[in-house]
Amino acid sequence: MQLTHVKFHHMPDATDSTETLSIRCPSCRQRFSVDGNLRDRMVECGACDARFRIIDDVILRSKKFYPGERHAQELTRFQRVPLSTAAPDGLQTIQYADFNQHDQLEPTSPQRIIGAIIGVGVMVVITLMFFFASGPGGSMGAMPLGNKLILGGFISALGIFLLINANPKARIKAGGVGILLAAGMLTVPFFIKGPEVAVAVPSKSPADIDLNAPIFSAEDRDDPLAALRDRFSTNPLEVEQKRLKSTGSDKNAYGIFLTDLLQRNIYTVRDFLYRETMAGLSSHPYPRDNGDYLMVLTDVPMGLTEVVDIASRLGTTKEIHPEIGIIVISVDNEQFLDSAADKLNNQKDPEFYALNQRELVSLDLDRVKRAVERLATAEPSIYREDISGQLLNLMEKPGISFHDELAKALLVWLQDPSSAGEAALKALQGQIAEEKPASENLVILLLKGNNQAAIPSVHTLWLADPSIWERHYAKFGSVIEPRVLEYLNSEKAPLRRSAITLLGQIGTATSLPPLGQLIGSPDPEVRVLAERAIKAINGR
C-alpha cells in the first residue's frame, strides 16, 4: 500500500471543493490542506507521523452563509446608517463651553499648602513678638513704631500672597482671611508700645549747644527742673529714682542721654554701660526724637562722678545735670568700627601690636577677647608695660568671662606674675563659687607668682578632681603637707592614692609614721605607693 506523506500547512478556514480538502489529524488535531483526489486514501501526518484514511470523519466542513441568514441579537448594536446631525424639531440641544481653568479641578499641591502654613506662621510669630518682645530688654524694645509697621506690612503682604496662592478655588476667601490676620498684626504695635512711655521734645544738636549759655528760657526759669525733665523725657528715670528712694536703697539711678548714636551700635553701648557701671537688669535704653536714646541705669552702686568717667568713653560729654541725674553724651561711632583683619592677625605687621592694644579697650567684649587671644601667642617685644597693664585691668573688671585667655596672655606679658595674684585669685574664687569649670591658666599664674593665699582654692579643686589638680597642688611645696595628711585614710580611693603620691613629692619626716602604717594595707596599690613615698622622703 502506498502512503502519502501529508505535510503541515497552517490553513485558514476553508470550504469543501473539488480541488482541495481541509482535513484534521485525528491524533494531533493538526489541520492540513490536501488535494481532493486523496479522498479514501491512507495518508501519514507530517506533524506526528500518525497514519489515517481521509474519510468524512477527518474532513472539515464549514457552512457558508450570507447576510441576513443568521439572527444574532448582538449585531443590532452596530449602526448601519449614519446618525443625522440635525436635531429634531422642538428639541434644544446642550451646548458645552471650553473649560481652561484646570487648577480648580486639580487638588492643591503640597508646595502651596506648605507655603500657606509658612505665611500664616510668620504672621503669628511676628504678632507674638510685638506682644512679648516690646518690653524692656526685648528684641523689639528699642524699635520705633514706624519700623514695626514697615516690618508688619512686609510680612502681611507675604502672608496674603501665600494664602491666595494656596487656595485657587477660593482666592477671595483666602485673601479675606489674610487681610484679617494682617489687620490684627498691624494693630498690636499701636497698643503694645513697650518702653516708649514718653515723647521727647525736639532738641538742638549737641554741636549747636552753647555750654555757657543759659539752658532755660525766661518762661522756664520759674521751674527749671520741670523744663529739664521735659527736655529729656525723664519719666522712666523718675520711676526708678522714686522706687530706690521708697525702698531705702543706697544705690542710684542715672540717665545717659545719647546723641548722634547709630542704631546698629545701641546694643553694644547698652552692654558696655551695664558692665562698667554694674547696673541692675531693669536698666534699658528708651528711644527719643532725632535718633537719640535715654539710657536709664538703675541700681548703680557708684556715684555720679564715676558714671560720668565711664560714659565719657562713648564720646564727648556735652552736659551734666546732677539735680536730675542726667549726663548728655555725643557718641563717637568711629570707635565701633573694626580694624583691618589682616593687620590684626599678622604678627609680622608693624601695626600688629598697636592695633591689638587699641582693641583691648574696645567697648565690644568679643573684640577684646579676640585681641587677648592674639596677644597670648605673640612675642612681648614692644608695648609690654602698656599691654600687660591693660590685661591686668581687664582681669579686675566685673563681667569678664574669658579669664583663662587673660591668664594665658598675662603669663606671656607680665614680667612679675605676682602682680596679678589678687585679681587672679578673685577670679578663681568666683569660678569655684559659681561652680564653673576652673581655669587651669589662672592656677598656673597664681603658682608662678607664688601666691600662698591661693592654697585653699587649689585645695578645693584637688579634692574635687585629684587627677587634674594634683600636679599643680604639689608645686606649693611642703606647706600643704598638713592638709594632705588628713586624706591619707580617705574612703575615696582616687583621693587617697593622690594624697600618698603628693606626700612622696612634698612630704617631710612628719609624714613617715602615717605612711609607715599603710605598709600593711590590704590594698596592694596602696602598699606600693606608700613604700615609694617613704623611699622618696628618706632620699631627700
475 and 416 in a single domain? The answer is no
What letter does residue 92 receive in the DSSP assignment? P
pLDDT at residue 102 in the model: 57
User: Which of 434, 461, 488 marks a domain boundary?
Assistant: 461
Nearest to 215 by CA among 236, 200, 232: 232
Same domain, 423 and 491: no
61 in a domain, yes or no?
Answer: no
- Give domain status of residue 288, yes or no: yes
For residue 97, tell me if it sits in a domain: no
Kindly report the CATH number assigned to the domain that includes residue 532.
1.25.10.10
Task: Determine the pLDDT at residue 63.
Answer: 58
Q: Reply yes or no on whether the pLDDT at 20 is more than 50.
A: yes
Residue 24 domain boundaries: 4-53
- What does the pLDDT read at residue 202? 38
* Residues 228, 187 share a domain: no
Say if residue 472 is in the same domain as residue 450: no
Same domain for 322 and 355, yes or no, is no
Helices (H), ranges, 361-490: 365-375, 384-396, 403-413, 421-433, 440-448, 455-464, 466-473, 481-485
Residues 397 and 413 in one domain: yes
pTM: 0.55
One domain, residues 354 and 456: yes
Query: Over the stretch 373-405, which tens digit does the pLDDT of each residue have?
Result: 999 999 998 999 999 999 999 998 878 889 999
Interval 477-486 mean pLDDT: 93
276 and 257 assigned to the same domain: yes
The pLDDT confidence band at residue 60, using thresholds 50, 70 and 90, is confident
84 in any annotated domain = no
Radius of gyration of the chain (CA): 50
Shared-domain flag, residues 302 and 234: yes
pLDDT over 70 for what percent of the chain?
81
Residue 235 falls inside a structural domain = yes
Residues 30 and 42 in one domain: yes
Averaged pLDDT score across all residues of the chain: 82
Q: What is the pLDDT of residue 133?
A: 72
Q: What pLDDT, on the 0 to 100 scale, is given for residue 205?
A: 42
Cβ(196)–Cβ(286) under 8 Å? yes
Q: Residue 94 domain-assigned? A: no
Residue scoring higher pLDDT (38 or 197): 38
What local confidence, expressed as pLDDT, does residue 18 receive?
A: 53
pLDDT tens profile 189-227: 887 755 444 333 333 444 444 444 444 454 544 578 888
Share of the chain above pLDDT 90, in %: 46
Number of independent structural domains in the chain: 5
**Length of the chain, in residues:** 540
Asked if residue 121 belongs to a domain, the reply is yes
Better-scored residue on pLDDT, 498 or 194 = 498
Question: Is 342 inside a domain boundary?
Answer: no
pLDDT in tens, 154-199: 888 888 888 888 887 788 888 888 888 888 888 888 877 554 443 3
Same domain? 471 vs 406: no
Shared domain check, 434 and 536:
no
